[in-house]
């Protein structure tokens, strides 16, 4: 268990990681040739198109090892990509994993990353089909490319929303940022593992089933996943669709855990809901008269609550919050920007 990456070497390490996937991963139909050759051979299904995404987590910038177990880190890294496929309404199929590893990293740690990757992919019968290992001196990284399938013409985009439509959101945004604050306050995860806010950060559940239903309904005009923060990502959707948004403060789903934490901090929970946070929930828009149908279709496959939080307006770039008394305040767009913000 103390063996290091540099002691084992690249090709034996690839063999060991392949063994983890052989034991714990899937070998879905359509995967003609996986890891071990120069390239994988994959079949696509008739009538489908590929949705392809890529995301990289860099140690010290996107994560700190003291906040997550190696298994959680692997599962979370894959969940980030699954969420992008979910936002398009896709069925996850194949992943490519590129790692930057220091020579003194324990082999067992990398194996745990792979257990996490497999745990995230298995519910969707999706598999890792290849990748690349490289040696780094500084921060390690995990870079994943994920391919999903969606029926031609059914993919959800950010750009289809219209004024007058309503805004739906899954789950309870803002919790991941609050969990990260708890981890930062303490400096590590000891004793915090089961805190609901910390779990929202360490173990996000990508809304793949929900995204599939939203795409399949034919009723949803636009969608996006929450990787930057509610307001930031809603802003992306509004910009792509050329619309504005009015949110109803009373309708925002604030989780009890977020409520309790913000009372302790003396903060406004609405600001945590709106602000930078990578919760991997979904925002979707649809005609007001279809909202109950969409919610009913979601509840048939998912326990995740869905709330109607506002309406789209014909004022592009204008995001506003309507309080209980009916008065409006303008909202700036505050999401996560990798170049404007510092790392953690
Ligand atoms: Mg996204």
Q: What is the pLDDT of residue 334?
A: 59
* 113 Cα–ligand 1 center, Å: 22
- List b or e across 231-262, with b for residues whose CB sees 16 or more CB atoms inside 10 angstroms: bbbbbbbbeebebbbbbbbeebbbbebbeebb
> Comparing 37-46, 75-84, 316-325, 326-335, which segment has the lowest mean pLDDT?
326-335
Q: How far is the CA of 193 from the centre of ligand 1 (A)?
A: 26
| Across 110-115, average pLDDT | 98
Whether the pTM exceeds 0.75: the reply is yes
- Between CA 308 and CA 50 the distance in angstroms is 30
Average pLDDT estimate for 277-296: 97
Domain ranges of the chain: 5-151, 166-330
CATH topology of domain 5-151: 60s Ribosomal Protein L30; Chain: A; (3.30.1330)
What average pLDDT score do residues 201-223 get? Answer: 97
Q: How far is the CA of 194 from the centre of ligand 1 (A)?
A: 27
* 169-196 pLDDT tens trace: 999 999 999 999 999 999 999 999 999 9
204 CA from centroid of ligand 1 (Å): 14
pLDDT at 248 exceeding the cut of 50? yes
Task: Render 62-79 in DSSP notation, one character per residue.
Answer: TB-TTTS-HHHHHHHHHH
Would the pLDDT of 339 be above 80? no
Among all chains, which residue has been given the structure tokens 């177990």?
Answer: 69
Cα of 256 to ligand 1 centre, how many Å? 26
**What's the gap in Å between 225 CA and the centre of ligand 1?**
5
Burial of 137 (0-12, 13-18, 19+ CB in 10 A): exposed
CA of 147 to the centre of ligand 1 (A): 14
CA of 108 to the centre of ligand 1 (A): 31
The CA 8 to ligand 1 mean position distance, Å, reads: 36
> What local confidence, expressed as pLDDT, does residue 36 receive?
83
pLDDT at 104 over 60: yes
The predicted pLDDT at position 21 comes to 94
Could you read off the pLDDT of 50-94 as tens digits, one per residue?
A: 999 999 999 999 999 999 999 999 999 999 999 999 999 999 999
The Å distance, Cα 278 to ligand 1 centre, comes to 10
Q: 190 CA distance to ligand 1 centroid (A)?
A: 30
CA distance 102 to 100: 7
CA 96 – ligand 1 centroid, Å: 18
Mean pLDDT of 3-20: 94
- Residue 342's pLDDT is 44
Q: Are 218 and 297 in contact (CB under 8 A)?
A: no
The mean-pLDDT minimum among 20-29, 114-123, 198-207 falls in 20-29
Is 337 or 45 the better-scoring residue by pLDDT? 45
Q: 248 - beta bridge partners?
A: 322
| C-alpha–C-alpha distance, residues 285 and 288, integer Å | 9
Q: Provide the 3-class DSSP secondary structure of residue 176.
A: helix
Whether 233 shows a pLDDT value over 70: the answer reads yes
Q: Does position 340 have pLDDT exceeding 80, yes or no?
A: no
Measured CA to CA, the distance from residue 28 to residue 130 in angstroms comes to: 14
- % of the chain with per-residue pLDDT over 70: 97
Expressed in angstroms and rounded, the spacing between residue 226 Cα and the centre of ligand 1 is: 7
pLDDT tens sequence across 132-158: 999 999 999 999 999 999 999 999 999
| Residue 19 structure tokens | 């063994």
Confidence of residue 344 (pLDDT cuts 50, 70, 90): very low
Q: How confident is the model at residue 28 (pLDDT cuts 50, 70, 90)?
A: confident
Fold match between domain 5-151 and domain 166-330: no
pLDDT at 317: 87
Give the residue among 114, 4, 93 at the shortest CA–CA distance from 51.
Answer: 93
Name which CATH class applies to 166-330. alpha beta
What's the CA-to-centroid distance between 78 and ligand 1, angstroms? Answer: 13
The rounded Å distance from CA 210 to ligand 1 centre is 15
Answer yes or no: is pLDDT of 321 > 50.
Answer: yes
Q: Is the pLDDT of residue 332 over 80?
A: no
The side-by-side arrangement of strands in the sheet containing 306-313 is: 220-225, 282-286, 166-170, 306-313, 244-248, 319-322, 328-330
Question: What is the 282 CA–ligand 1 centroid distance (Å)?
Answer: 9
Res. 204: pLDDT tops 50: yes
């Amino acid at each position: 268990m103390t063996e290091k990456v540099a002691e084992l070497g690249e090709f034996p390490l690839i063999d060991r990681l392949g063994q983890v996937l052989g034991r714990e991963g899937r070998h879905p139909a359509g995967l003609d040739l996986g890891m071990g050759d120069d390239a994988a051979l994959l079949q696509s299904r008739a009538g489908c198109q590929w949705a392809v995404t890529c995301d990289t987590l860099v140690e010290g910038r996107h994560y700190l090892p003291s906040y997550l177990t190696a298994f959680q880190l692997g599962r979370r890294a894959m969940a980030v990509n699954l969420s992008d496929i979910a936002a398009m309404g896709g069925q996850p199929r194949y992943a490519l994993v590129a790692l930057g590893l220091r020579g003194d990293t324990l082999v067992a740690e990398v194996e745990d990353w792979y257990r996490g990757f497999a745990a995230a992919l298995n519910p969707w019968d999706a598999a890792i089909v290849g990748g690349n290992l490289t040696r780094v001196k500084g921060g390690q990284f995990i870079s994943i490319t994920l391919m999903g399938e969606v029926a031609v013409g059914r993919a959800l985009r950010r750009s289809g929303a219209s004024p007058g439509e309503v805004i739906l959101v899954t789950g309870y945004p803002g919790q991941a940022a609050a969990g990260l604050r708890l981890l930062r306050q303490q400096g590590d995860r000891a004793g915090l593992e089961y805190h609901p806010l910390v779990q929202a950060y360490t173990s996000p559940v990508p809304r793949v089933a929900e995204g599939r239903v939203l795409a399949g309904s034919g009723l949803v005009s636009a969608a996006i996943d929450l990787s930057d923060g509610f307001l930031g990502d809603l802003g992306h959707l509004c910009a792509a669709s050329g619309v504005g948004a009015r949110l109803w403060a009373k309708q925002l789903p604030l989780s009890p855990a977020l409520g309790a934490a913000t009372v302790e901090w003396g903060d406004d929970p609405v600001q945590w809901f709106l602000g930078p946070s990578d919760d991997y929930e979904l925002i979707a828009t649809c005609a007001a008269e279809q909202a109950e149908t969409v919610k009913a279709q979601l509840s048939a496959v998912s326990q995740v609550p869905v709330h109607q939080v506002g309406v789209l307006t014909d004022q592009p770039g204008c995001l506003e919050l309507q309080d209980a008394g009916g008065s409006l305040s303008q909202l700036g767009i505050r999401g996560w920007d990798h170049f404007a913000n510092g790392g953690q």
